[in-house]
Chain A
Amino acid sequence: MNDMTVMDKTMEKQKTKIAANGVNVHYGESHAIKDVNVEIEDKTVTAFIGPSGCGKSTFLRCLNRMNDTIDICKVTGDILLDGEDIYDKRVDPVQLRAKVGMVFQKPNPFPKSIYDNVAYGPRIHGLAKNKAELDEIVEKSLRRGAIWDEVKDRLDKPGTGLSGGQQQRLCIARAVATEPEVLLMDEPCSALDPIATAQVEELIDELRSRYSVVIVTHSMQQAARVSQKTAFFHLGNLVEFGATGQIFTNPEDPRTESYITGRIG
């Protein structure tokens, strides 16, 4: 309970980073997201929870327009990043994704060296003027990914040779290297063992100081551990959204309660 009060305090000061109004997503015939309204705050960890197939990942992928890569996916409604509609015709998804980074369910390092994995984003976005600056960005990102000490001696070794937990932290470092403002994480620990999960969770808590983090998870314990705000999705609807402490201790909607107590899911 002591923790909770601290979180609540930090929360109040944050401004809204992403605001979604009346978002609907259709996959061909099926209606995947139904009229979702949610406000995601800066420098906060927001968790999306809900049973599998509830649309939480789909909604997450709307936030940096990753759904654009799927032909049959249609998104309607407004999603505003710092007050600008990211689905505006003038917005280039490439520029958007530089601001809204993403970490995926399965660690997906590129078949390149650790260094090149991290340097990939800065290189394509032109963030470094020279090799020294790039080295600096890579080191800084690997430190933020809490993996620097483990890999600093083998930066030229392939990223695919790391363990699962290390790979995922490398992917987080890779995402951080492009200096995003929002970091989306799609079940980042589902492929990891408990020790690696703990390391990644610790990292997420540190990242909160710099970024707005949105994490999709199927583990309620994880949501409770890392997030300040929690959104519960069910069958494409956003059922309930609020402070994590409140959702887990005193849910308003009976469906949230059923899920949290393990009756649906």
Chain B
Amino acid sequence: MPVFWLVLILLALSVAGFFLGRQRALASVGGNSKNLHSLPNYYGHNVALSGLVPALGILVIWLLAQPFFIDGRVSGLIPDSVIPESSSRGLVMSDVRRVAEGLDIVVASGGMTPAEVRALDAETTDVRAELGKLGVALGSDVRPEVLNAAQAYRSLSSTGKTAMTFVVALVAALGFAYAYSKTHKDFRARNVVEQGVLGLLIFAASLAILTTVGIVLSMFFETINFFGLHNWTDFFFGATWAPNFRGDSELSILPLIWGTLYISVIALLVAVPIGLFAAIYLSEYANNAVRSFAKPLLEILAGIPTIVYGLFALLTVGPMLVRFFGQGDNGILGVEWMAGATSVLTAGVVMGIMLIPFVSSLSDDIINAVPQAMRDGSLGLGATKSETIRQVVVPAALPGIVGAVLLAASRAIGETMIVVMGAGAIAKFSVNPLESMTTITTRIVSQLTGDTDFASPETLVAFALGLTLFVITLGLNVLALAIVRKYREQYD
């Protein structure tokens, strides 16, 4: 990994720069640090950061930008005639990349020498078979244009890497040299370093925005690719989810949304009453001993990873429900309503358990924000505690509780492991909670795992699903947070 070594070298250089800068500053005042404008360490930091930060910055930008430029250059090499009817340039490009990667692997594993790889000719040799012999499997036959493009891709990549190393090293050297030359007793090293550090802090803070942008963009482009291959009306308004490999998949999100909402509703039916009553009891009735015992225990439920709940659904709750509602005459109820362990009810109940502490701790905060004066007013009129809670405290806290429920709903909709393991894989519209259904998140997982082909709508649909999921949960969160914030302002 040359980048790894490059970074290490940069770090080593900056450490050296620190000591050199410090020394030069001290030398400029004959060792008497009192005559320096700033503390000697600042001069060292200045030199170290001046080289390191720009170099690392350029390194990161280069790494991010290089694939983009190479793609642009290489895709220009592909003549339009090579692009099949049903395909697009982007999809051919992914073929090119795969061939290039395959060739890289062959070289790295010593199967061919670099010269042999360069001499490959798709007209005369079956590249796919050649690579297959050496343990690199390709999805389709390699056309000459694709192989040429792949060769160009490889050479551009390696040129890019060399250029990157050179440029980064140059920038680092220039940075060090400039800062070193400026190091002098009158140089305001502290101010410069602090400006630099502030810049780094701002960069760190804006990473949050970059992440969001990254999320949106990464799904957006692939979604566009998807809609290039698949009719958007079918995606949004179709009635069937039936991916296949014949190329006439029906990929509609509606049955998935139905499954997702059904499971979420069951989860909320479990979590909201239990969580709300638990919160009410803990904040209004329980004494300190009970509170300090029950609250942390309940919160353990929130800290348990979702994989544990998934396993619980798959191996415990599901089989238990089958014993009640299935197995015909051997079952407890003697009915044959449930065929397998995975069902809407299984996933919903387990997800509900997971959400109990989420609802209860949010509601607890919200109920505690209702002013004591409200309760006193009601109790002073001779209301019992439960009357006070039901008729004064809960109505007063209602907006906040609604916000909490919305947050819980967004959690339920985005939850993955429990539904992957407990809900099943069949997309359908059904009202029977004992049937297995599937959700948006489950389909994202199944379309993106295993053998994925980023040129097929069956894979790309996952990005459209992901974007839809992101938009739904984002909307719920923004709404919920706004409601809760407004509620809190009311009593502050």
Contact = CB atoms under 8 A, between A and B. Distances in A.
The interface centre, meaning the residue of A95, A110, A175, A178 with most chain B CB atoms within 10 A of its CB, is A110
A124 B387 contact: yes
A111 B395 contact: yes
A152 interface: no
Given A71-B287, A120-B391, A124-B387, A108 B381 contact: no
Given A120-B391, A124-B387, A108 B382 contact: no
Contacts of B395: 110-112
Contacts, number: 73
A242 interface: no
Contacts of B392: 110, 120
A216 B374 CA distance: 20
Given A71-B287, A110-B392, A110-B396, A171 B377 contact: yes
Nearest to A109: B377
Nearest to A71: B287
Interface string B277-298: 0000000000110000000000
A110 B377 contact: yes
Nearest to A171: B377
A248 interface: no
A125 B375 CA distance: 17
B198 interface: no
A28 B395 CA distance: 33
Contact of B383 (A71, A94, A99, A184): A94
Interface string B149-177: 00000000000000000000000000000
A255 interface: no
A66 B374 contact: no
Contacts of B288: 71
B283 to A, nearest CB: 13
A104 interface: yes
Contact of A121 (B374, B375, B376, B382): B382
A97 B374 contact: no
A129 to B, nearest CB: 19
A250 interface: no
Interface string A222-240: 0000000000000000000
B387 A108 contact: no
Nearest to A69: B379
Given A97-B380, A97-B382, A110 B374 contact: yes
A97 B379 contact: yes
Contacts of A103: 380
Contact of B379 (A66, A109, A184): A66
A151 B376 CA distance: 24
A140 interface: no
B291 to A, nearest CB: 11
Nearest to A116: B391
A33 interface: no
Interface in A75-134: 94-99, 101-104, 106, 108-112, 120-121, 124-125
The interface centre, meaning the residue of B375, B380, B392 with most chain A CB atoms within 10 A of its CB, is B380
B389 to A, nearest CB: 12
Contacts of A120: 378, 381, 383, 391-392
Contact of B381 (A101, A106, A112): A101
B373 A121 contact: no
Contact of A64 (B287, B373, B380): B380
Interface string B359-392: 0000000000001011111111111100100011
A102 B383 CA distance: 12
A257 B378 CA distance: 38
Given A111-B396, A112-B395, A104 B383 contact: no
A183 to B, nearest CB: 10
A169 interface: no
A168 to B, nearest CB: 12
A125 B378 CA distance: 12
Given A124-B383, A178-B382, A108 B396 contact: no
B300 to A, nearest CB: 26
Contacts of B371: 108
Given A71-B287, A104-B373, A108-B374, A95 B382 contact: yes
A104 B382 contact: no
Contacts of B396: 110-111
Nearest to B288: A71
A43 interface: no
Nearest to B380: A102
B381 A174 contact: yes
A103 B379 CA distance: 11
Contact of B376 (A66, A94, A109, A125): A66
Contact of A125 (B374, B379, B380, B382): B382
A69 B391 CA distance: 18
A198 B384 CA distance: 33
A102 B381 CA distance: 7
Contacts of B375: 69
Given A110-B396, A124-B387, A178 B381 contact: yes
A112 B380 CA distance: 17
Contacts of B376: 66, 69, 102, 104, 108
A65 to B, nearest CB: 9
Nearest to A103: B380
Nearest to B287: A71
Given A69-B376, A110-B378, A124-B382, 18 more contacts: A64-B380, A66-B376, A71-B287, A71-B288, A95-B382, A97-B382, A99-B382, A101-B381, A102-B376, A108-B371, A109-B377, A110-B395, A120-B383, A120-B392, A121-B381, A121-B382, A125-B382, A184-B380
5 contacts: A94-B382, A98-B381, A110-B395, A175-B380, A184-B380
Interface of A: 64, 66, 69, 71, 94-99, 101-104, 106, 108-112, 120-121, 124-125, 171, 174-175, 178, 184
Interface of B: 287-288, 371, 373-384, 387, 391-392, 395-396
